[in-house]
Amino acid sequence: MDEMTKDKMTASGSTSTFPGVLLRPLVPATDSRGWLTELFRADVLEAAGMREAQPVMGYLSMTLPGVARGPHEHREQTDLLVFPGPSDFEVTLWDNRSGSPTFGRRESLVLGAGYPATLITPPGVVHAYRNVGKVEGWVINFPNRLYRGPGRREPADDIRYEEDPSSDFKVEVKAKVKARDKAEAKVKVEAKASANAKARPRTKDHGRRTR
């Protein structure tokens, strides 16, 4: 499993090398009213040989700046993840399928405001994403399995590595993100100190002496 940390590819606006993983940009149609973009189409999935990825439900999540979700994987479920913005996410994928030609590899993508896209992750591909922007970020998921099955009566199809401190799948915090957050925190502290100094009432000296 150590190989997971050795072979890393960073990409933005490119195609994943993992078999069964599909990355497609969101292409907005704009007019005087604003814009519209398609999130998925059944015919596109079928043409890509992904009929089994047809969604059966959908949900929207909001992730705060600096917060990560995952890593986790599914045994049977395929996720169709949409990163529309308004923030950027660093998305990390690990190929955990022993029969895959890219088994043991890791990829890192930056999706969202800078590159809005959909990302399909099949069973066995571990995935995680962290909001690396400065604002709240949205992610929409259209999985091909109902969460906990019909009526929510079945176990969830999740292997949650984020709950296992000994897991080899870990989301790294980039040094530049740490430095940015530290610099912003310093600016806030200095601004607060300056505001407090300006708001502090001044005493007038009327010639009285105190002892």
Rounded to two decimals, what is the model's pTM?
0.78
Exposure of 185 in the CB half-sphere (CA atoms within 13 A): 6
Query: What mean pLDDT comes out for the span 118-143?
Result: 98
Domain count within the chain: 1
What's the pLDDT score for residue 15? 75
Farthest-apart Cα atoms in the chain, separation: 90
Residue 186 lies in a domain: no
CATH of the domain at 100: 2.60.120.10
Average pLDDT across the chain, whole number: 86
Residue 53 lies in a domain: yes
Residue 126 lies in a domain: yes
Q: How far is CA 85 from CA 37, 54, 111, 113, 139, in A?
A: 13, 23, 8, 4, 8
Count CB neighbours of 50 within 10 A. 18
176 in helix, strand or coil?
helix
Range of the domain at 45: 2-173
Comparing 9 with 65, the larger pLDDT belongs to: 65
Residue 180 has pLDDT above 80, yes or no: no
Query: What mean pLDDT comes out for the span 44-51?
Result: 94
Residue 62 lies in a domain: yes
